[in-house]
Chain A
């Protein structure tokens, strides 16, 4: 009798363990599905849309304001903005622009 009871208890324990494992695996699968790459993209932050706007300054310079819509893995969106020169022709870099853009601690080699 005692042997049968022990066997039944062991069986019950194994069944519970199996259920627990299945339960855990279910949650692991759910989590993995949440983080799975969507539409074949595997990097963080997906660029959904890019909007470009031409801006003309008072001095007559034209810039393009580029706004990206980036979908983050948590489902929220970011809207990073950057600007670049709109002129199709090559632009000579002036001393003023150099001073503005250069990294201050770097010393020129040549």
Chain B
């Protein structure tokens, strides 16, 4: 199978960090059979059926740089396939869902600007998801990639600009 990832489980809906934009966070978990590492995937649901996908190694849970740290387990593709499968699971639950993600910078990158993770994720998403259901947008200087659901969002430019502004404010203040 092309996009065969690890089996995952849905853990909970976390409503502890909700605000006027963030409604709640869906938490998934999977365990790598190769490296025996456990990964946590947090899918944040914002207003207008917008979801932000994040994942990190459970061992780095308490670290401030948990999204930037590399686990060096030599299986990035399998992990990203699993995260893709989790995205499809969210899409099954909510057919109007639009997604966005940010490629976190590692120790060799400048904060935000076209990071290595962003290039890897965007190439993979471009290959795996066609433009039948989603319209693809990218912002290189924020390492932001947005998948806009064609059936739900009418004014795409305005919608993407809102996400862009929100991410820019969250990253640079």
- Which residues from chain A sit less than 8 Å from chain B, CB to CB? 41, 43, 45, 47, 50, 66, 68, 82, 84-93, 95, 98, 101-103, 106-110
Interface CB pairs A-B, < 8 A, 24: A45-B108, A47-B108, A84-B114, A84-B141, A85-B140, A85-B141, A86-B141, A89-B139, A89-B161, A89-B164, A90-B138, A91-B138, A91-B139, A92-B137, A93-B137, A95-B131, A98-B136, A102-B123, A102-B127, A107-B2, A108-B130, A109-B84, A110-B129, A110-B132
The CB with the most chain B CB atoms within 10 A, among A47, A68, A93, A103, is that of A93
Which residue in A84, A92, A95, A106 is a CB contact (below 8 Å) of B127? Answer: A106
CB distance from B73 to the nearest CB of A (A): 16
CB distance from B153 to the nearest CB of A (A): 13
Name the residue of chain A whose CB is nearest to the CB of B159.
Answer: A90
Are A90's CB and B137's CB within 8 A? yes
Bound state CA distance, A103 and B122, in angstroms?
11
Which are the 4 A-B pairs with shortest beta-carbon distances? A84-B114, A106-B127, A108-B130, A93-B136
Name the residue of chain B whose CB is nearest to the CB of A107.
Answer: B2
Bound state CA distance, A43 and B109, in angstroms?
13
B113 within 8 A of A: yes
- Chain A contacts for B146, CB-based, 8 A: 90
- Which residues from chain B sit less than 8 Å from chain A, CB to CB? 2-3, 84, 88, 91, 107-108, 110, 113-114, 122-124, 126-141, 144, 146, 157, 160-161, 163-164
Are B164's CB and A90's CB within 8 A? yes
Name the residue of chain B whose CB is nearest to the CB of A88.
Answer: B141
CB distance from A46 to the nearest CB of B (A): 9
Are B133's CB and A110's CB within 8 A? yes
Bound state CA distance, A67 and B83, in angstroms?
32
- Chain B contacts for A41, CB-based, 8 A: 107
Name the residue of chain B whose CB is nearest to the CB of A95.
Answer: B131
Are A92's CB and B139's CB within 8 A? no
CB distance from B99 to the nearest CB of A (A): 12
- Chain A contacts for B88, CB-based, 8 A: 109-110
Apart from the given pairs A89-B164, A90-B138, A91-B140, 8 other A-B contacts in the complex at a CB distance below 8 Å = A45-B108, A92-B136, A93-B136, A93-B138, A95-B131, A108-B128, A109-B3, A110-B129
Bound state CA distance, A53 and B144, in angstroms?
21
Name the residue of chain A whose CB is nearest to the CB of B116.
Answer: A82
CB distance from A95 to the nearest CB of B (A): 8
- Chain B contacts for A84, CB-based, 8 A: 113-114, 140-141
Are B126's CB and A93's CB within 8 A? yes
Bound state CA distance, A65 and B14, in angstroms?
42
Which residue in B131, B139, B161 is a CB contact (below 8 Å) of A98? Answer: B131
Bound state CA distance, A5 and B74, in angstroms?
62
